[in-house]
Amino acid sequence: MTTRLRFDGWILGTGTTSGTRVVLGHWPRSPLGPFSDVMVQRPDGHRVLLAPDADVAGFVGSTYTFDEVRLTGVEVTRPDEVTWSLRAGPLTLRARTGARPPLGLLLRAVPAPLARTPAWVGLLDRPARLLTGLRTTGSAGNGRREWYGVQDLHRLAAVEASWDGEPLGGLAPVRPPVTFGFGSVPPDPSVVRVTTTVRLP
């Protein structure tokens, strides 16, 4: 007997010139209710999860790998169509999105109901690995499996961020890739519209 859980929202991933990499998940619709969480990898490789409550920390911490988990308020606002603002414990971040790259236009052309289905996502895994080095499906922690049904993509045009009040520098590629789990985010800083399906054993 297996259970499939669906998380519908956005993933924003960016590097900074200081070497800190940030992955924000913003989930208006999920089995845990609306929430946002942040995965941070510091320049020395230390991986931190910033989660708004114990339920989110437990689920995300059982699916991915972290060196530290902090419970803290995670506040995401979008004052306009191109701006993302984040406050989460020691982290503050403000990002501005740019235009869709060609891949974003292709993703938009796929009907959303199809793009969300695990069967379609599985078909895209090999082409995605060949073209981008990223995976759309794979094994996660504790016997779980995930499918990332990406439906849109925008590049980031600018980022300002700080950690404990110290500036993290400007926009930079997500390099080296983050190591929270099998999946990563595009090396080019971006925000993707995504439906993530998690199969529990």
Distance CA 103, CA 152 (A): 8
Q: Which of the two residues, 133 and 62, has the higher pLDDT score?
A: 62
Percent of the chain with pLDDT over 70: 97
Q: Return the pLDDT at 171.
A: 97
Q: Return the pLDDT at 8.
A: 97
Q: Return the pLDDT at 6.
A: 95
Could you report the per-residue pLDDT of 95-135, keeping only the tens digit for each?
999 999 988 888 888 888 888 888 887 887 777 776 666 77
- For residue 176, pLDDT over 70 is answered with yes
77 pLDDT band, cuts 50/70/90, is very high
Cβ(38)–Cβ(88) under 8 Å?
A: yes
Strands (E) in the chain, as ranges, are: 3-16, 21-29, 35-41, 47-51, 68-71, 74-80, 83-88, 91-97, 137-139, 145-163, 166-167, 171-172, 190-200
- For residue 164, pLDDT over 80 is answered with yes
- For the residues 51-67, what does the mean pLDDT come to? 96
Provide the domain count of the chain.
1
Structural domain range at position 110: 3-200
Cβ within 8 Å of residue 115, ≥6 positions away: 107, 121, 149, 150, 151, 195
- For the residues 61-83, what does the mean pLDDT come to? 96
